[in-house]
Structure 1
Amino acid sequence: MYVYILTNQTQTVLYTGVTNDLTRRLYEHSNGRGDVDKFTGKYQTDLLVYFEVCPDAIQAIAREKQLKGWTRQKKDALISAFNPTWQAIDLETWAG
């Protein structure tokens, strides 16, 4: 299971999610960019800047809820520690 954070081109919006298949979920987000009825479509959040692996769904959901409760400043610090340049992560080439 994965907990992940997406942002938009201007890094003004963060979206936190959980999935069991990060590659598939990123594909779904990028294909839903035009769907303004959904958060990721409305704010064009399809750039992966952070992710972590959790051993099971219960822990992943708990971590997602924890991150969603954090301030923007705390989330920014987490992302910067993991991905200092905030470059969009390509899962096929990411060396972390």
Structure 2
Amino acid sequence: MSLNVVSFDAKSARKAEVVERIRDLLERAEAGELVDFSYACAKADGSMITGFTATDDAPRRLAAVSMLEFRLHRMMEGQMENELAPGR
């Protein structure tokens, strides 16, 4: 009997989603639809990358980052409520 070792990437779907989202943003930027950009990324090794384009549109950039932070908090709140729901 011989064993065949096969590697499996459990995060491949997430990687594909990241690549798809970045390609969409690139297309929108090339079309002139996006004029300012901020980003926060989690790397596979656990570290993070953040940055932004230093345009003269700082108020809207800050508003967009604040909106993103709000959305992330709401998502985490929903996850916590699901974990604490009776019967789980």
Structure 1 length as normaliser, TM-score? 0.29
Structure number with higher relative contact order (C-alpha < 8 Å, ≥ 6 residues apart) = 1
